[in-house]
Amino acid sequence: MQDKITYILDGKIETIEFNQENKPTNTVLNYLRKTPCHKGVKEGCAEGDCGACTVVLTELNQDNKLLYKAIDSCLVFLPMLQGKQLITVENLASKNGDEENLHPVQDALVKANGSQCGFCTPGIVMSMFSLYKNENNPSKERVEDSLTGNLCRCTGYKPIIEATIQSCVNNGADHFSTDEKKIAEMLLEIKNSSESIEIKTENQQYFQPLTKIEALNLKEKYVDAIVTNGATDVALRVTKRHELLTQIIDLSHVQELKKNVISEYLIKFGAGTSLEDVKQISQKELPALHDLLAVFGSKQIREIGTIGGNIGSSSPISDTLPLLMVYNAEIKLQDAKSDRIVNMNDYVITYRQTAKKPNELITKIIIPRPNPKAQIKFYKISKRKDLDISTASAAFLLLLNGNLVEEIKIAYGGMAAVTKRVIKAENFLIGKPWDRNIIEQAMEIIGAEFTPLSDARSGAEFRTIVSKNLLLKFWNETQI
């Protein structure tokens, strides 16, 4: 194993060694802010909510071509840079001798008057740059999706959106295009010489295995170690709670956990598949899951957050859990010697406690293809449409035989200590007409099923009303 990381910055291979001062749980944001030439990245919230710290990572795909991904640097631990290229706002302009030429996205933002105080501008520019490299002539919807994770309190978003649309017209051509072959060769060189990483300081151990069997053996040996992949949740324990995480197993470089299989009867997601990749795959295969992920966090968060990580957190307000329950999804759990399958409906036992044993890892999420006649919807109630945690959520699956309910599944998040199916309401509806009178009776069953808490997001009474009204909303949208 190696005890340092290698990555590319400013077109050169760089190495980072770790010690008590330079901890493995330092974020990329904090690291950059201490460098002399990369302070354009800003800290606005330190929790992935504002986008002022956005940078772009490039990595090799299966064909050894470069992928450009905008991410929140406040949520990424330094070792996760291993084998990647880091691009900051300082790298965007090209130089010809003493002359500096703005990148097309920068030039467009200047001409559209898309910046005022400038605090958020570097992050916005990096999100624009990522889109510029990935899509040509993107739709306004795609532009807005790429910018959702960037907050601006001064300018207003119209000129920023206009600048993005106007600039993304060159098929990604820029000075990075000229160097892509060279960068790909450098990344391939790093990849071919890389080993699994084990970083030990006086108070911390940080492991970054390259294979699944290594990861399982580490989890067997260090059962209390914190497991992370994208760190979008775990990083908050460092940036907001200032915790010292003593043992971490980072799965972000285990390629076996990123493999997906689409067959006639099943869709299998590797637990390490990013939520953005799940979103893209689901657009055709599982439309309700795609719609859910369209309002899940921001693109920066979805690029590094994983489906296995979201399930593993077992939060009662996790957006994916209610829908996976009505999909009747299964989770593959593995330890170093064996594996087993657990149905999603049996996975969460009580608050933040699951059926996963301490020495097990989530390795796969298996979703059976729903009946093509089934109507499936997911609803999220939150104060903001985008980039917000659910106040309450609900998922429904309905199969009608004429106007009679042949099958129905109803699951709610944010209403109890765990995400929960409403079995009493389901049993009541089976075999009955799908009409308003029956639905209103089922609404009362749902209202009596939960005793929600009041918290900063909502009061208990509001959540109860919402839980009932979401069933009515689903009925209204599924009329034949």
- Structural domain of 109: 104-173
Q: Is residue 455 part of a domain?
A: yes
CATH of the domain at 76: 3.10.20.30
Domain termination site, one of 191, 217, 250: 250
**Are 257 and 214 contacting, i.e. CB atoms less than 8 angstroms apart?**
no
Angle at the Cα of 330 from the Cα atoms of 336 and 391, rounded to 5 degrees: 115
CA–CA gap between residue 18 and residue 202 (Å, rounded): 11
Residues 266, 233 share a domain: no
End position of a domain, from candidates 141, 173, 205: 173
Residue 154 falls inside a structural domain: yes
pTM: 0.95
Residues 271 and 310 in one domain: yes
pLDDT at 97 over 90: no
Same domain, residue pair 315 and 430: yes
Same-domain status, 297 and 316: yes
pLDDT score of 384: 87
Q: Does residue 98 have a pLDDT over 90?
A: no
Residue 99 forms part of a structural domain: no
Is the domain of 383 the same as that of 468?
Answer: yes
306: helix, coil or strand?
strand
242 and 161 part of one domain: no
The alpha carbon dihedral of 340, 344, 347, 352 has a sign of positive
Same domain, 350 and 201: no
217 is a domain residue: yes
Q: What is the CATH number of the domain that holds 159?
A: 1.10.150.120
CA distance 357 to 221: 13
Q: Are residues 295 and 329 in the same domain?
A: yes
Q: Which letter does DSSP use for residue 257 in this model?
A: G
Number of H helices, E strands in the chain: 17, 22
- Which helix (H) or strand (E) is 9 found in, with range? strand 4-9
97 found inside a domain:
no
Residues 67 and 138 placed together within one structural domain of the fold: no
Is there a domain that residue 98 lies in? no
Q: Which of 199, 226, 250 is the last residue of a domain?
A: 250
Read off the CATH number of the domain in which 419 is found: 3.30.465.10
Which residue type does 217 have? N
The confidence score (pLDDT) of residue 196 equals: 97
Tell me the pLDDT tens digit for each residue of 412-470: 999 999 999 999 999 999 999 999 999 999 999 999 999 998 988 899 999 999 999 99
Q: What is the pLDDT of residue 424?
A: 97
What pLDDT score does 95 carry? Answer: 86
Please indicate, yes or no, whether residues 225 and 328 belong to a single structural domain of this protein.
Answer: no
pLDDT higher than threshold 90 for residue 386: no
Between CA 278 and CA 270 the distance in angstroms is: 10
Q: Is 96 a domain residue? A: no
Please check whether residues 344 and 470 belong to one and the same domain: yes
Considering the domain architecture, whether residues 201 and 167 belong to the same structural domain is answered as no
Residue 63 placed within a domain: yes
Domain count, the chain: 3
